[in-house]
Chain A
Amino acid sequence: MDLETLKSFEWSVMTPEFIILGVAALLTLLDLFLPKKMDRRILGWIGIVGILAAILSVASLLNVESTSILDDSFTFDAFGKSFKLILLVGSALVMFLAISYDAKEGMEDYRGEFYYLFLSALLGAMIMTSSGDLITLFIGLELLTVSSYILAGIRKHNLQSNESAMKYVINGGISTAITLFGMSYVYGLTGTTNLFEIANKLAAVTNGQQAYLLGLAFLMIFVGLSFKLAAAPFHMWAPDVYQGAPTPVTAFLSVISKSAGFVIVIRILISVFYNAAPTDNGEGILFKMHDYLAVIAAVTMIIGNVVALKQTNIKRLFAYSSIAHAGYILVALTTMSSNLLYSIWFYLLAYMLMNLGAFAVIQVVTEQAGSSKISDFAGLARRSPILAVLMGILLVSLAGFPGTAGFIGKLNIFVGAFYGTPHYVLAAIMIATTVISYFYYFGIMTQMFFRPASDERKLNIPFGIVVVLLVAVVGSILFGIMPNIALDFLNNLH
């Protein structure tokens, strides 16, 4: 390959990635050369400007036909565009949270580092959305996870943060090893790392033994990636990590990192295994493994929702709630309905909005109280009525009530469960666990509206939090009432 061929690729489709990379590099240098005394929040604002520029550049590239660079090592297709937008908008919101983050044992010394590690994690997630090569996907995944390990432990003098980072590193390392082992089997059986070539080669596999090994590889990759999704029974790390990490990082892990996990699961599992080693009636490995997926989805929903019931720490509660939400999305993955992509995309969009909004409120309340107990929410309605009402709307959306984005998201998945071969059991479990989830979401509501406050101080709400809450609440209601906007947007992508 000579320089001419290298130049002939349309590198312009990578502009969003280049912007994020450039801003991360710029922040690193600025952090080095700015005077020590200067407030590092300015770097956060530069980061936000960078992310917004990246959003604009994705928006301007929306009409570009699917292109790929260097043997699909970077592919810019409708899938990548739509999920990249979710990741970027979510990251911009988390950045606003981070700028307003001011906990006691905070990260004063490492605020600058926080911003650019955050951008590098985002870069990894973006690469995962648009790559058609196992190696590039894996490096994107590692970039995301290595950055998140450090982010989780950035409050160096806080014991819980240390524990959180340590647990995350060990669990993450093991899960990466398992994923990589599975990928090595796929590579060994096909001799290529390009996802589309792999899919073509696997579609021709008829040998039973090869199919068996592919099944093993599928399970290993899925188990490894389930750690990233925090799906049960591989969810044990999530509550401890979410509790110990600084609130913006928790928000990041529960939204961006989880979305990126689903993106890579869809990329690898669906494109590689959908038609792999088909049986006589054309059912690929994914279909044969379908029962395992169903079990994991069901267990995730049940464990997430049931264990959330007895939590007293708000961050732990949201950790279990995020496990439960991963379970709902896994239902969509299991049923393989024709609206699979739309329902997962929409759910992640809705989940991003409502969860980040909820974390904005959690951050304000826990900072003021200095602890993260659920009882700190007592009397929020009297201390700050607006905040309580907004949190109420977000909780209703998380619980999945009609009129909110969370409802439409669940409805899409629920309806999808009856396409093709109906999955009555999964659909029933989904309904039952959703009802269970009302208990803990409304538990927070009772605290906010009906319990007397122990602390009557008014809450001051920083500007960043206002922005996040505004976007989250408006988005949750808008997509709840007019979900067609999102559907039309996705259908018009090409």
Chain B
Amino acid sequence: MIFTGEFLAFMGLALVAIIGGVLLLNLNKVIHMVVALIFTFVAIAGIYVLLSAEFVAAVQILIYSGAITIIMLFGIMLTKHDDESEAKSGKWRKLFLFLGILGFAFAVYIGIYNFNVEQVPTKLHENNTLQIGEALYSKYIIPFELTSVLLLVALVGSIILAKNDKKKEADKE
């Protein structure tokens, strides 16, 4: 194994991303969880840069680390957030879960350690954004348009489920 700069950078970023994810699950306060999430988001953006996907990296920072985190913080601010996490589940269950994860990690590790990936030269770094745009509006136009329907559905759904019903409130008064 050769320790190139790219390898070290990848290891660092991957480690931060995973630690962020694990902390997100284990921390008790919501605000702390959001901070852990930001670490993961930014580290993933770094991995995108390593893969010469600059545009995706920029979008990742703008939308995930920026917009989504801010919305989450607003959500936390405007709702009741003094609840701490629920009681812990049983010891045995945790043990089995841990063994399961370990088994899966081992199975994947056997597959990927020493895995020889053929390096294919690409032109991804040249005019990265232009290439994405061209692919998106020609070859992938059908999934692209469907995604907009999907977003519309999500929007309608969140309004239905989160809307405060006037009628109920009027009943209370």
Question: Using a CB–CB distance below 8 Å, which chain A residues touch chain B?
Answer: 1, 6, 21, 24, 28, 69-71, 73-74, 109-110, 113, 116-117, 120, 123-124, 127, 131, 133, 135-136, 139-140, 142-143, 146-147, 149-150, 153-154, 156-157, 165, 191, 209, 212-213, 216
Contact = CB atoms under 8 A, between A and B. Distances in A.
Nearest to A116: B156
Contact of A140 (B110, B146, B160): B146
Interface string B35-71: 0000000000000000000000000000000000000
Given A146-B153, A150-B160, A209-B114, 18 more contacts: A73-B142, A113-B160, A123-B149, A135-B140, A136-B142, A136-B143, A139-B146, A143-B146, A143-B149, A143-B150, A143-B153, A147-B157, A153-B161, A154-B160, A156-B160, A157-B168, A191-B120, A209-B115
20 contacts: A71-B139, A109-B167, A113-B156, A117-B156, A117-B157, A120-B152, A131-B142, A135-B143, A136-B143, A139-B143, A139-B147, A142-B150, A143-B153, A146-B154, A147-B157, A149-B157, A150-B156, A153-B161, A156-B165, A209-B114
A21 B115 CA distance: 45
B25 interface: no
Given A1-B138, A139-B147, A120 B153 contact: yes
Q: Would you call the interface of chain B mostly helix, strand, loop, or mixed?
A: helix
Contacts of B138: 1, 6, 70
A136 B146 contact: yes
A113 B152 CA distance: 12
Contact of A109 (B108, B120, B146, B165): B165
B100 to A, nearest CB: 12
B90 interface: no
A156 B112 CA distance: 46
Nearest to B120: A191
Contacts of A24: 149
B87 to A, nearest CB: 18
Contact of B153 (A73, A117, A212): A117
Contacts of A109: 165, 167
B133 interface: no
A73 B146 contact: no
B150 A139 contact: yes
Contacts of B161: 150, 153, 156, 165
A216 B140 contact: no
A20 B32 CA distance: 44
Contacts, number: 88
Interface of B: 107-108, 110-112, 114-116, 120, 134, 138-143, 146-147, 149-150, 152-154, 156-157, 160-161, 165, 167-168
Kindly name the residue among B111, B115, B146 whose own CB sees the greatest number of chain A CB atoms within 10 A: B146
A133 B120 contact: no
B33 to A, nearest CB: 16
A113 B146 CA distance: 19
Contact of A147 (B110, B120, B141, B153): B153
Contact of B157 (A142, A146, A213): A146
A216 B141 CA distance: 31
A133 B157 contact: no
B157 A150 contact: yes
B111 to A, nearest CB: 5
Kindly name the residue among B110, B112, B161 whose own CB sees the greatest number of chain A CB atoms within 10 A: B161
Nearest to B156: A113
Top 4 nearest A-B pairs (CB, nearest first) are A150-B157, A1-B138, A213-B111, A136-B143
A191 B118 CA distance: 11
Nearest to B166: A109
Contacts of A123: 146, 149
B146 A127 contact: yes
B149 A73 contact: no
Contacts of A156: 160-161, 165
A73 B143 contact: yes
Contacts of A133: 143
Contacts of B146: 123-124, 127, 136, 139-140, 143
Nearest to B165: A109
Contacts of B154: 146
A213 B115 contact: yes
Nearest to A133: B143
B4 to A, nearest CB: 20
Contact of A209 (B108, B111, B139, B167): B111
A133 B142 CA distance: 11
Contacts of A127: 142, 146
Contacts of A71: 139
A120 B149 contact: yes
Nearest to B145: A21
B30 to A, nearest CB: 18
B60 to A, nearest CB: 17
Given A149-B157, A191-B120, A212 B110 contact: yes
Contacts of A140: 146
Nearest to A71: B139
B150 A146 contact: yes
A149 B111 CA distance: 35
A137 to B, nearest CB: 9
A323 to B, nearest CB: 23
Nearest to B150: A143
A455 B111 CA distance: 63
